[in-house]
Amino acid sequence: MPGEASADNIAVMADSTFDIVSKVDPMEVDNALNQAHKEVAQRYDFKNVGASIEMSGEKVLMKANSEERVKAILEVFESKLIKRGISLRSLDAGDPYASGKEFRIEASMKAGIDQENAKKIGKIIRDEGPKGVKSQIQGDELRVSSKSRDDLQATMALLKGKDLDVALQFVNFR
């Protein structure tokens, strides 16, 4: 009997796994914000229009005296995020709204995979992924396992090709 238990353990250990996460490096976001702040402060078209971009708690707050200007500030911030390697899928920007005499946009960075998207990713893996690949939701990430490393790499390629609402990173590949 002891031989059977150890054989089962070896089979379990032989499975290769990786985790699917959606995380953003806060330092990179901070760097992108600082670069955007500098550009907004220096650009001629933002002079004397009350243009600003700053962190307000967990949110990024952009202000200007017109809707077009505040959208331009958002575009500057988005370009800085892209240059720092942060997917725009991680940015959750609201619509411009009037607040007194100025227009504002509030944006936040999304982290983690919500239940709805986790289920959607799990369904894609089940329906279109290689046979024998399993996924399970663990909090705000997914663990994907298979006996074949090639099947796991095929699963990664499959998910990279999909247009999902979240930015995915693949970590802990073993």
Query: Does residue 151 fall inside a structural domain?
Result: yes
The pLDDT of residue 106: 93
Q: Which token pair is 62?
A: 């952009």
Q: CB within 8 A of 11, min separation 6: which ones?
A: none
Per-residue pLDDT in tens (0 to 9) along the chain, 174 residues? 444 444 444 444 558 888 888 888 889 999 999 999 999 999 898 888 888 989 877 899 999 998 999 999 999 999 999 999 988 888 899 899 998 889 999 999 888 888 888 888 888 888 888 888 888 888 888 888 888 888 888 888 888 888 887 888 888 878
Q: What is the CATH number of the domain that holds 121?
A: 3.30.70.860
Query: Does residue 165 fall inside a structural domain?
Result: yes
Query: Does residue 38 fall inside a structural domain?
Result: yes
Query: Does residue 46 fall inside a structural domain?
Result: yes
Q: Are residues 99 and 74 in the same domain?
A: yes
Query: Does residue 128 fall inside a structural domain?
Result: yes
Q: Are residues 155 and 87 in the same domain?
A: no
The pLDDT of residue 96: 92
Q: Are residues 33 and 68 in the same domain?
A: yes
The pLDDT of residue 171: 85
CA angle 48/51/55 to nearest 5° reads 150
DSSP alpha helices (H): ranges in the chain? 2-14, 26-42, 67-83, 115-128, 149-161
Domain that holds residue 129: 16-23+113-171
The count of domains in the chain is 2
Q: Are residues 48 and 101 in the same domain?
A: yes
Contact 53, 61 (CB under 8 A): yes
Q: Which of 109, 129, 151 is the last residue of a domain?
A: 109
